[in-house]
Structure 1
């Protein structure tokens, strides 16, 4: 079941998004109250597939590890610092853009990497360290980009609550399931959990898009500002990481993997932080995040066509 869902996940997302747009425009509904529950279960489903107990396996590929960390946590922030002055001048929009573009993907990037002839297993092995580093570094990046006045204007309590309920608890539950894999009940739980991410991601996308599409399309100016930023990001990251991977003399499959890690962002996994914003900013930040997801899905389909032809 898991393999079948992952094989058709892009189609599932596109069909879900199409239905959500049609329903949201024809009979507007507000399902946002269900989002935290769906998102919490989704986060667990994503975390349970991350090999936390094999954290050190990635050290067996030191050049790849250095390249992927340099790209995600040094080069990308530097590139964003150059283009940041051209972002829309609204703190919620800037926060939403930074939230997604500063955090590398930890879930469906593995599937797209495999489809693009990269090393899916190596990408999976890198996910624990990518997750830990982005959680540690994201507050620092936000402070450096948006300044003390923005951070001071935020209430810390909603962020702490979102982190514990929607990130830490699902993460701990996932680690507990992984650490008891010798028990039959744990194996059954793991098997069921592995099938959760695709349908739950589709559900989260449906909730967000169907509930907010009328507001989004009413502000086409915002979309016109966001879409070029996200397209430009994927193009620039492709070119930079192609050169970076070759400069590190990575094998072809590892080079392709670096390209996918840099070009694929952690959009839905950072939604808990957007939900913790002041109420008047939440919808704007969510629009910035969901727009990135839509652009990225199309971009990944293009990546998958190009990357198999790339060699180190």
Structure 2
């Protein structure tokens, strides 16, 4: 529990870092345009560092844990890659119909499930953390494979998307860093031992928010003039994100009841379809769709709202669990929770 609490505290600091990055980048780009251009020229290098760090922390051997719960895995994949993207597209296309580039950014934000911090919130909500760990590499791989498909389906018109360019982008910008990160992960783990490698993973985990904040600062420093021209749209982006979180909550409730999920799996499903993978999608999108600051800004705004929402969501789940109205069998849920903790 203490570790999970630390993660939530760190999550609040991520929001602070993102705001600081936005403000610093905006001030630099507005006051010193040459310095803003210089920061913008460093975006590619920062992207490579961010993607490599994100991949470095993933344990792909955890996939084998999911095979023991194929029913839950099937429900989660259906919700995550069919229902949630459809809901997200419907919301974004209605709320931001007059602002197509912001709409594209919001759709990209909505379509990609989180692969890291949702697990801390799942633990606080007494969800099935062991099964959640197995979802991380699955979501990482599937969302990258589906990214060009979703982009083709949902963004026709606002941006020109070339499937060949996206394929090359994923190959050179993400599959290559993935190979480097995986080799480094397993090589260093064998070389330095489990205990020291665990400390290294912790340091990498701590470094990721700072790299994201640096990337956000570079984006805003290089593109603040264009972003300020559309500042009135930010309220609509926030409204779209809020509506999305409401809909995904009720989607999780409905699937959990229809699937008769025990509480730990119910909590895990709710958190996994609510949390989004903005850092990776920001990196992917900047490489696949260069020169689109409004799309990037929509992704950053969604990230700012997400942490407070997940904090409230875990409290709602715990309250429902304590009142016995979560739609799960109390005895079965407790037993499954103990199994998750032991796992």
1:172 partnered with 2:183? no
Unaligned 5+ segments in structure 2 are: 30-34, 321-325, 329-343
Is residue 59–residue 137 contact of structure 2 (8 Å, CA) maintained in 1?
yes
Residue 277 of structure 1: CA displacement?
5.2
Is residue 104–residue 134 contact of structure 1 (8 Å, CA) maintained in 2?
yes
Residue 233 of structure 1: CA displacement?
0.4
1:306 to 316, 323, 330: 316
Distance 1:205 1:309 in 2: 33
Q: Is the deviation greater in 8-17 or in 219-228?
A: 8-17
Secondary structure of the residue aligned to 1:195 is helix
> For residues 211 and 154 of structure 1, do their structure 2 counterparts lie closer, same or farther at Cα, with a shift above 3 Å needed?
closer
- Per-residue CA deviation, residues 27-66 of structure 1 (Å, 9 max, x unaligned), is 4453333333333233233223322123221111223212
Distance 2:122 2:228 in 1: 32
Match of 1:16 in 2: 17
Is residue 112–residue 304 contact of structure 1 (8 Å, CA) maintained in 2?
yes
Unaligned 5+ segments in structure 1 are: none
Secondary structure of the residue aligned to 2:42 is helix
Secondary structure of the residue aligned to 1:154 is coil
Match of 2:7 in 1: 6
> For residues 124 and 32 of structure 1, do their structure 2 counterparts lie closer, same or farther at Cα, with a shift above 3 Å needed?
farther
Bigger radius of gyration among the two: 2
2:203 to 175, 195, 210: 195
RMSD: 2.9
**Over 6 Å off, 4+ runs:** 2-5
Task: Name the TM-score, length of structure 1 as normaliser.
Answer: 0.85
Task: Name the TM-score, length of structure 2 as normaliser.
Answer: 0.78
1:35 to 16, 36, 43: 43
